[in-house]
Structures are given as structure tokens and as C-alpha cells.
């Protein structure tokens, strides 16, 4: 519970908000309370001043009495002393505390203005103001005004009670808000956590439905997408493993079968030669297959690096042609090249040669005697286009979308005879795409096949 995200977020929020609220309340409370007390003290002082002004005009018995009568009806107490502090009139009974205040002041100071002489409202029972009666520059007496602090205390208490209620309400509301808020954030996170747990347990179908358009919504979408991709990947891997084991099993069956035959007694020397040749051929296929698979695995793990350089395509193509021409002539296929002199591509020559050899090999394998195979290179703006055209058997439309898939062959048995493993085009596509180019195949069964490779010229122009 304590480690849960919702709790952590909520707790942190709560602490922050509590601190902010307490600060706000403290400032507000002290301001209001002080304001009220100041009002009371000001009022008290004003009253003392008024009385002393009245007495300054008429310092006699009847005015003194008048002042006393006025205050006896109010909540205040007035005490008037002569210049030496002797009480000459008062409105109510003089309490012990009042007497202390009256005795505490210095009667020798030539104070002319009224002032507060007791403001400790929370300790004392009375607060007090004093105003001297000055007549003709001489101090004739002092007016003391007292106010019971009970009222002030009651006022301030009321204020505190109100503040406590409001504070409790605010804290309550804050807690509820935080609770809802943290749920709102953590609920989807918990859902996603569960989904990824499912994923790691091997459950591939996770659906995180969410209409949220925020980051959490995006995250949920990414997880769903990832899960789907993982699912596809697993299916592809299983299919791939199935085909690989099939691919490996067939030549091994041949090898084992012919090895068994050779071991028999009743077999002629020429038969032994023939069968050993088959065994060698099959082993050769196997090692090519394994090498190709290894290459693909490297490409998958991005361990595959290309070393680009500026390559004259014409030179490269003619050197390939020289090597493969005998095989074409053997099958009586005419091979023609059309490549302008000056075309330079920024490619890895070895890899690019691998691609072209495989494509030309395919063209040769699937063409009949007497047909033509053409290789054409052209340049369009920044693009170099290499097109290979053959007049062979072509590829059925239903197979075209899968032609670049690993181990895919149109007619398994026939291409077996010609030694194909169905990896050539996969590797070619991988290489061309690593170069940032594209490879496309169009074909018409019975008419022929066209392979188009597009590359950005790159190099110095990049």
C-alpha cells in the first residue's frame, strides 16, 4: 500500500497542499484577529481622548460627573485621576487590575498625547488607554479608559472556530480531490501494468481500451501496438522455424539415404561416385543455406554493416557479367547490358554485387533456352535505377506478395532442383533497404519478370 503510486502521489500532494493551506490560514487568521483587536484599542483610545478634551474645556465637578455617568451606561469603564494619580471620579467599581494600571504610569512625564497603556488582551482581564488632561500647558489630570477583554476574546474565539471548521472542510475536500485525482492517474497505469504482466507471461492478446487523448492514452495505445507486433513476431518466428527445420531435413534425408546406399555391398564403383556427388551437392546446399541464414540473423540484429564508396556501376556490372556469362551461354540465354559510362552510385560494392548476382541468377534459373535477359541502368535526378528484365516463366500473382519472405519459393520442388533456398530475395531486399533504396518486382506469368532497384545516388551529393 505504502509503495503504491496512487498513495505516493496523493501523499505528496496532500503535504504540499497542507503546507500552503496552513500558511494561507495563518496569515489570514492573524490579520483578521489583529485587525479586530486594533479596532477595539483604537476605539478605546478615541474615547479616552474625547473625555480628556471635554475635561480640558471644563475641568469641574459637573463635567467629571457627566463623564462618569456616560460611561456607566456603556461597556467601558472610565477612571479619572488628578495630576498625581489620585482617583477623583470613576464610572464603575475599580477592579484590582485597573488600580494596578493607574498606579503603574509615570505621573512626572510631561506626556501630552493619549496612548494605550495595556494591550495584553489574552493575559489580562482589561485593556486600557490613558489620555492626559492638559490645561494651559499644565497637566491637570488623567483619563483612563478600560475595556473588558472578555468580548475581544469571545470575538477571536469565534473567529478561530470558524477557521477550524473551514480548515477541516478544506482538508477533507483536498483529500477527496487527491484521492480521485490519483485514481484517475494510477488506474490506467495499473491496467497497463497488468497488461504487460500478461504479455510477459506469454499472453499475446492484450487490449487496453481507452479514449484518453493524453500521454497515458498514448502509452496504452503503444502497449497494445507492441503486443500485436509481438504476437505477429511470434507467429512469424514459429513459421520460420517450421520451414527451416523442413529445409534442413530434406537435404539431410538425401545425405543419409545415399550414405546408406553406399554402405551396401552390392553397389558398383560408378554408382558410388554418383551418390557421393549427390551427397557433396546436398552438403553444399546445406552450407549455403546455413550461411545465408546466418547473414539474415546478422541483419536482424543490426550487426550488419555496409561500407559505402563511390562505385562506377558500369565497371561493377561488367565485372559481374564476365563471371556469369558462361552460365548464361550454357543455357543459351542472351544477356545484354545497357549502362551509361558516367553513372556513379554510393554503395557497398560487395553487397550490391551480391544483390545483382542473385537477381541475375533468378532470371537465368527461371528463363528457358533462347530467351533474353536485359540489365539496364539509368539515372533520374538523384535516383539511380537498375532494371532487370527476363522473358522467363514469371511469377503467379498470388505468390508475388510473398516473394521477399524468407524461404519462400514459388514451386518448392522445382526450385529445389536448381538449388534455391528462397533466401536470395530476402537478403537482397535487406541489403537494398540498408542502403536506403527500394526493390520492386513485377511479373506476368508466361511473359517474364521485371526487377527494379532504386537507389539515391548519394555520396558527395548527399
Q: Return the residues of window 340-359 that contact Mg ion according to CB under 5 A.
A: 358
- Cβ closest to ligand ATP, residue 132 vs residue 448: 448
Closest residue by Cα to residue 433 from 361, 348, 376, 375? 348
- Cβ closest to ligand ATP, residue 49 vs residue 449: 449
- Cβ closest to ligand ATP, residue 122 vs residue 369: 369
CB 18 within 8 A of CB 177: no
Size of the site for Mg ion (CB under 5 A): 3
Unique residue bearing C-alpha cell 535516383: 383
Taking the C-alpha atoms of residue 179 and residue 172, their distance in angstroms, rounded to an integer, is 11
Which one among 68, 188, 251, 422 touches ligand ATP, defined by CB under 6 A? 422
Say whether residue 389 binds ligand ATP (CB under 6 A).
no
- Cβ closest to Mg ion, residue 114 vs residue 424: 424
Taking the C-alpha atoms of residue 422 and residue 408, their distance in angstroms, rounded to an integer, is 5
Rounded to the nearest 5°, which phi and psi values hold at 116? -85, 130
Q: Return the residues of window 431-460 that contact ligand ATP according to CB under 6 A.
A: 449
- Cβ closest to Mg ion, residue 68 vs residue 424: 424
Give the chain's end-to-end CA distance (angstroms, integer). 57
Which one among 6, 182, 292, 362 touches Mg ion, defined by CB under 5 A? 362
Say whether residue 251 binds ligand ATP (CB under 6 A).
no
Q: Return the residues of window 326-385 that contact ligand ATP according to CB under 6 A.
A: 358, 362-363, 366
- Cβ closest to ligand ATP, residue 251 vs residue 392: 392
* Per-residue contact string for residues 402-441; x = within reach of Mg ion by CB under 5 A: ----------------------x-----------------
Cell numbers of 75, please?
A: 461597556
Q: What is the dihedral of CA 386, 388, 394, 397, to 10 degrees?
A: 10
Q: Tell me if residue 192 falls in helix, strand or coil.
A: helix
Beta strand residue intervals within 307-461, DSSP E: 309-312, 334-338, 344-347, 372-380, 383-390, 438-444, 448-456
Which residue ranges make up the site for Mg ion (CB under 5 A)? Answer: 358, 362, 424
Which residue ranges make up the site for ligand ATP (CB under 6 A)? Answer: 358, 362-363, 366, 390, 392-395, 403, 408-410, 415, 420-426, 449
Amino acid at each position: 500500500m505504502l509503495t503504491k503510486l496512487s498513495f505516493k502521489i496523493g501523499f505528496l500532494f496532500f503535504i504540499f497542499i497542507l503546507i500552503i493551506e496552513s500558511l494561507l490560514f495563518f496569515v489570514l487568521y492573524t490579520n483578521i484577529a489583529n485587525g479586530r483587536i486594533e479596532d477595539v484599542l483604537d476605539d478605546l483610545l478615541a474615547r479616552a481622548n474625547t473625555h480628556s478634551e471635554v475635561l480640558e474645556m471644563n475641568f469641574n465637578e459637573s463635567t467629571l460627573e457627566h463623564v462618569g455617568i456616560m460611561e456607566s451606561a456603556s461597556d467601558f469603564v472610565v477612571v479619572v485621576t488628578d495630576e498625581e494619580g489620585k482617583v477623583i471620579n470613576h464610572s464603575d467599581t475599580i477592579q484590582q487590575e485597573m488600580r494596578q494600571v493607574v498606579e503603574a504610569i509615570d505621573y512626572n512625564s510631561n506626556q501630552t498625547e493619549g496612548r494605550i497603556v495595556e494591550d495584553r488582551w489574552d493575559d489580562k482581564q482589561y485593556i486600557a488607554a490613558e489620555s492626559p488632561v492638559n490645561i494651559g500647558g499644565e497637566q491637570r489630570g488623567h483619563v483612563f479608559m478600560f475595556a473588558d477583554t472578555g468580548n475581544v476574546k469571545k470575538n477571536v474565539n469565534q473567529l478561530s472556530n470558524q477557521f477550524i471548521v473551514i480548515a477541516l472542510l478544506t482538508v477533507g475536500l483536498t483529500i477527496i480531490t487527491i484521492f480521485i485525482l490519483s485514481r484517475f492517474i494510477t488506474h490506467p497505469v495499473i491496467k497497463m501494468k497488468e497488461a504487460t504482466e500478461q504479455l510477459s507471461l506469454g499472453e499475446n492478446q492484450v487490449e487496453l481500451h481507452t479514449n484518453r487523448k493524453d500521454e497515458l492514452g498514448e502509452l496504452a495505445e503503444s502497449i497494445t501496438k507492441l503486443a500485436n507486433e509481438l504476437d505477429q513476431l511470434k507467429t512469424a518466428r514459429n513459421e520460420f522455424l517450421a520451414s527451416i527445420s523442413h529445409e534442413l531435413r530434406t537435404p539431410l534425408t538425401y545425405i543419409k539415404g545415399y550414405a546408406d546406399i553406399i554402405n551396401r555391398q552390392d553397389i558398383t564403383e560408378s554408382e558410388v561416385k554418383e551418390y557421393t556427388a549427390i551427397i557433396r551437392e546436398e552438403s553444399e546446399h546445406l552450407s549455403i543455406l546455413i550461411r545465408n541464414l546466418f547473414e539474415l540473423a546478422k541483419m536482424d540484429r543490426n550487426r550488419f554493416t555496409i561500407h559505402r564508396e563511390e562505385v562506377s556501376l558500369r565497371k561493377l556490372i561488367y565485372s559481374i557479367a564476365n563471371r556469369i556469362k558462361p552460365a548464361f551461354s550454357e543455357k543459351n540465354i542472351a544477356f545484354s547490358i545497357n549502362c551509361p559510362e558516367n553513372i556513379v552510385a554510393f554503395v557497398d560494392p560487395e553487397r550490391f554485387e551480391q544483390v545483382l548476382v542473385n537477381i541475375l541468377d533468378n532470371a537465368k534459373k527461371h528463363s528457358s533456352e533462347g530467351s533474353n535477359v536485359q540489365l539496364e541502368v539509368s539515372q533520374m535526378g538523384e535516383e539511380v535505377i537498375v532494371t532487370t528484365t527476363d522473358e522467363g516463366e514469371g511469377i503467379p500473382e498470388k505468390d508475388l506478395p510473398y516473394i521477399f519472405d524468407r524461404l519462400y519459393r514459388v514451386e518448392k520442388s522445382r526450385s529445389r532442383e536448381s538449388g534455391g533456398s528462397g533466401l536470395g530475395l530476402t537478403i537482397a531486399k535487406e541489403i537494398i533497404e540498408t542502403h536506403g533504396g527500394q526493390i520492386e518486382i513485377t511479373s506476368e506469368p508466361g511473359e517474364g519478370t521485371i526487377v527494379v532497384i532504386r537507389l539515391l545516388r548519394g555520396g558527395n551529393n548527399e
